[in-house]
Structure 1
């Protein structure tokens, strides 16, 4: 099993270290399906010491991850609005999307547009795993 501290991980789960989650954090997961990277999920749980909370969880969380694929009938803006309902102030939101060339790829401009509409903005993107990229979203400061 790959962990966030396994530098030789073939799955790329080492990118989990870059998500900013810490031991004791509770992370809520949106968009779970069979195609998610289970090594990434396990590495987040190992790092935080807790299983990921599902979409129906309704208490405050320390961060959120969204597995999002184009063409599956979901609206990213609506999902991002939902994500923010139980998120602690300043908590990170990460959108995980299939990499270019893979089924369900979402372009950065589409992520940015949905984020802006939801009152967020994309701050960074990196390769998270073999098939997935991670884009961090942040809240816009007052007066912007």
Structure 2
């Protein structure tokens, strides 16, 4: 059992997601990574909320693929329920995978939506792009 824990991918930890956070998941489809989803839910101690929530959220996980639409517009929409110190993670397929979106394109779209891209992390077959409101970028690095 200890070996399994040591081998755990710690996706949520890499994204700064901890117990009792409210995490909103958007863009789910049959290609999303169930290991990432399960790790996040295990870490927060509950299920993630969807776009129907009226709660203030700490983190938005936005699964995004090339061809999913207008990213800047969707990012503008996802900040509405976000707490003042909240973070948006745009999860995209890694380089070479169908639906891959270059991090520079995500940063450009984030900027158009009033967000700043401050980090990109490897999450298995997905890349996570951490976005924050510009006034929070210094304190969350």
Return the TM-score normalized by structure 1.
0.87
Is the partner of 1:53 in helix, strand or coil?
coil
Larger strand proportion, structure 1 or 2? 2
2:96 is aligned, of 83, 98, 101, to 101
The answer for unaligned runs of 5 or more in structure 1 is none
Shift of 1:71: 1.6
* Runs of 4+ with >6 A deviation: none
Is the partner of 1:88 in helix, strand or coil?
strand
Distance 2:24 2:51 in 1: 7
**RMSD across aligned positions (CA):** 1.6
Distance 1:126 1:6 in 2: 21
Matched, 1:55 2:54: no
Partner of 2:139: none
Partner of 1:7: 6
Partner of 1:132: 126
The answer for unaligned runs of 5 or more in structure 2 is 137-141
Distance 1:32 1:58 in 2: 19
Instruction: Give the paired residue count.
Output: 133
